Structure 1
């Protein structure tokens, strides 16, 4: 039976959000044939009192070739069922439908005005993702299929579409998407963007610089062959320019003193919960408490706008000519309304500053020479943090006196979150976020 096959298979998928909990039931909400042998399914999975919906591309063949056996779901009657994202003979249907702007049953396929999509490209699944599945078509496009469905327009489609219409720099060109209605709301199912085939991941570039420094203990961070500070400056400038484009493309506002106080009170509550969960944080809690109080004292009004929301070195790519910012979805797992809410752009700045600290320090975990290398880690982080901030200011980003107080508080709030995460998942990395409270 189809539902039993899917329930047994879905529990083992990387993108399934309910791992470790029994599945109480699975129902097929929608089953649509997109092409011969290719079906689009939306299924509901019940676990305890929760119900989550997931999107599947279901392939159907009488027999599976060897190249697809790894994607097998099971046999239903005389048909072998499999995860069709791995079948390049079928996935071209998605590009063709977006290029043509087709409506297929309840699904609406669209492309951005003024763009053309080359439908001859064949797909390959990108392997490293946790919550989505991305198909790379040739060296031209990447189509992100959102597996767990949240009713509403995905922030990444909303933001990149608006910035592309403004011809903004530093984003990957969006081409198309498809959508349906869930709970009465237009809901993004997938989106296709430019694939940056010749680009390098910001996190990987930063780590290469740190490793080069650690291999040259006699040299300073600015003298080592892998000096990253010029790139940090350029990234800061690109970040400020994207923030300005976001402010122009979407509504902006001001957080009044009462709202600022409420925000800091919320951070104090989060801090208290983190201290209860991770006792190692307790000796440092006063540092965050003081930073939050200082914000209430000096930051009477805080400009807010649309922001990235989950900004770090893993969300940026360096092409031969530019820094490109990706994944404007916001923090994974947060409600859509929170991911679309206006916030201080310094939240993104704080996230990137924390990422520089992580790049410098995480290699010291379980490192016998950690004590000897720690001064170099601090030097590298300070050099690149200051270069990023200088670039952000040069690009027009706001960094006034009272902004430094808010930025410090937002950094510590991020570090509080990191402390809880590392304690649960990577205890040997706990010193990385704890170090944020010592500087």
Structure 2
């Protein structure tokens, strides 16, 4: 096993004028990024958590790694940040002038401080800084407060050509030679991120349905770096995860829409995806502790769902006629818990849908992106939960795919019944591999589906009003009385 390589870090990155020189540029640039979580609220200032010169700023091509808190007014809603200010990971390239090929990556030209007269840009667009990150992982380097770790059983070659993936949402990714993909987390919180924790646990359990991490990037920072009480001593900050790139694999969402548009049957693929999901759940149950959820825990769960419904009705008044029927799903769950029924909870994916699944050319499914819902606190994302939550997310995804194709005006004769066939096939496949059909617990499954549909209504009303009919169709179905 190779030893970690420790590099000294130049002191210019700790200059008190560094953040001041970047402040006006970041105020304009940061809110425009797709992964910025605080849209709609002004940035009132920045504070520096960590600064590391990965490549010296005076070398002609500098690479500056920053962890920066973006201060914004807090909004007293459930969607407010879990921390006093969100912390973001930034990788900034520094050059005297920017080549034309990097023009889209421009952030700006500082007029003061240690970067005055230089050009600052998003470094992930530039192959040289991207190469440096992979080399640091190969060497298990320590750069200031940054620590690069790797699985020594996996070879990381040095001749892999990097390219930036442009279709990211809440994070950023680099693909290296169709061999590895490096996912760089943008919104940083202290603690073990499930996007590293769960794939590592699944690799130890021998589960081949999830690519095993080949490397990861951590930051060793004081416990209170993000604010008082926002970390425990020894908590790591997970910054990135390197995993094998599944070359030739198809995104489940795109694949489903293509097959449906052609009138092709997708139930076989859905059944296979159900088996893959059950295999991952079974492996997680072996690798990490399970817990039993009784009356107290399930009543808290049902109350949370009811509170989200109440808030959603205030946001989207068109939900009001359906609220009693939707609430009955949560009341039924609380009633079952009150009668003494218990449920097993374990670690799950937490944000499962077709877009989180990849199918290889051979037809084998893999699950990716175990980060969970980034808007939720990390501690909540790491809680054991019933596997029905993942299943419900996938069932909603099949339903969403079918209705979204209708919403876009596509005329497909085979659309009718497509979602129902896929949902049934998925549950059957799950039962084949997991030993239990999710449909045998209809009350729990309906509650999770209803909660997810309510979330979708609020999201679409805020961000894509033209898509609102998609989740509203599910709301109308889920609000109907359950057949006796």
- Relative to the length of structure 2, the TM-score reads 0.83
Match of 2:41 among 3, 7, 21: 21
Q: Which contiguous aligned blocks of 4+ residues in structure 1 show a shift greater than 6 angstroms?
A: none
Alignment of 1:16-415 (within 5 A): 16-36=36-56, 37-49=62-74, 50-75=84-109, 76-184=115-223, 185-213=235-263, 226-299=264-337, 300-321=341-362, 322-365=364-407, 367=409, 376-399=414-437, 403-415=441-453
Whole-angstrom CA distance in 1 between matches of 2:439 and 2:249:
36
Partner of 1:223: none
Q: State the Cα distance separating 1:314 from its structure 2 match.
A: 0.5
Tell me whether 113-122 or 410-419 shows the greater mean CA deviation.
Answer: 113-122
User: In structure 2, the residue corresponding to 1:246 is in which secondary structure?
Assistant: helix
Partner of 1:6: 26
User: In structure 2, the residue corresponding to 1:172 is in which secondary structure?
Assistant: coil
Q: Relative to 1, partners in 2 of residues 1:265 and 1:105: Cα closer, same or farther, differing over 3 Å?
A: same
Whole-angstrom CA distance in 2 between matches of 1:400 and 1:391:
10
Q: State the Cα distance separating 1:348 from its structure 2 match.
A: 0.3
Tell me whether 336-345 or 283-292 shows the greater mean CA deviation.
Answer: 283-292
User: In structure 2, the residue corresponding to 1:129 is in which secondary structure?
Assistant: coil
Tell me whether 283-292 or 308-317 shows the greater mean CA deviation.
Answer: 283-292
Task: State the Cα RMSD in Å.
Answer: 1.9
List per-residue Cα deviations over 1:255-314 (Å, max 9, x = no partner).
Answer: 012211221122122212222322222222232222222223335101000000101001
Whole-angstrom CA distance in 2 between matches of 1:262 and 1:352:
24
Q: State the Cα distance separating 1:69 from its structure 2 match.
A: 1.8
List per-residue Cα deviations over 1:398-423 (Å, max 9, x = no partner).
Answer: 33676222111111111111121122
Whole-angstrom CA distance in 2 between matches of 1:119 and 1:152:
30
Whole-angstrom CA distance in 1 between matches of 2:152 and 2:388:
32
Whole-angstrom CA distance in 1 between matches of 2:46 and 2:269:
48
User: In structure 2, the residue corresponding to 1:73 is in which secondary structure?
Assistant: strand
Tell me whether 185-194 or 420-429 shows the greater mean CA deviation.
Answer: 420-429
Partner of 2:6: none
User: In structure 1, the residue corresponding to 2:174 is in which secondary structure?
Assistant: strand
2:428 is the counterpart of 1:428? no
Q: State the Cα distance separating 1:376 from its structure 2 match.
A: 4.9
Unaligned 5+ residue runs, structure 2?
1-20, 57-61, 75-83, 110-114, 224-234, 478-484
User: In structure 2, the residue corresponding to 1:82 is in which secondary structure?
Assistant: strand
Q: Relative to 1, partners in 2 of residues 1:294 and 1:11: Cα closer, same or farther, differing over 3 Å?
A: closer
1:298, 1:402 within 8 Å by CA — same for their partners in 2? no
2:63, 2:91 within 8 Å by CA — same for their partners in 1? yes
- Relative to the length of structure 1, the TM-score reads 0.91
Unaligned 5+ residue runs, structure 1?
214-225
Count of residue correspondences = 423
User: In structure 1, the residue corresponding to 2:175 is in which secondary structure?
Assistant: strand
User: In structure 1, the residue corresponding to 2:215 is in which secondary structure?
Assistant: strand
1:235, 1:391 within 8 Å by CA — same for their partners in 2? yes
Partner of 2:481: none
Q: State the Cα distance separating 1:92 from its structure 2 match.
A: 1.2
Q: State the Cα distance separating 1:132 from its structure 2 match.
A: 1.0
Whole-angstrom CA distance in 2 between matches of 1:79 and 1:400:
58
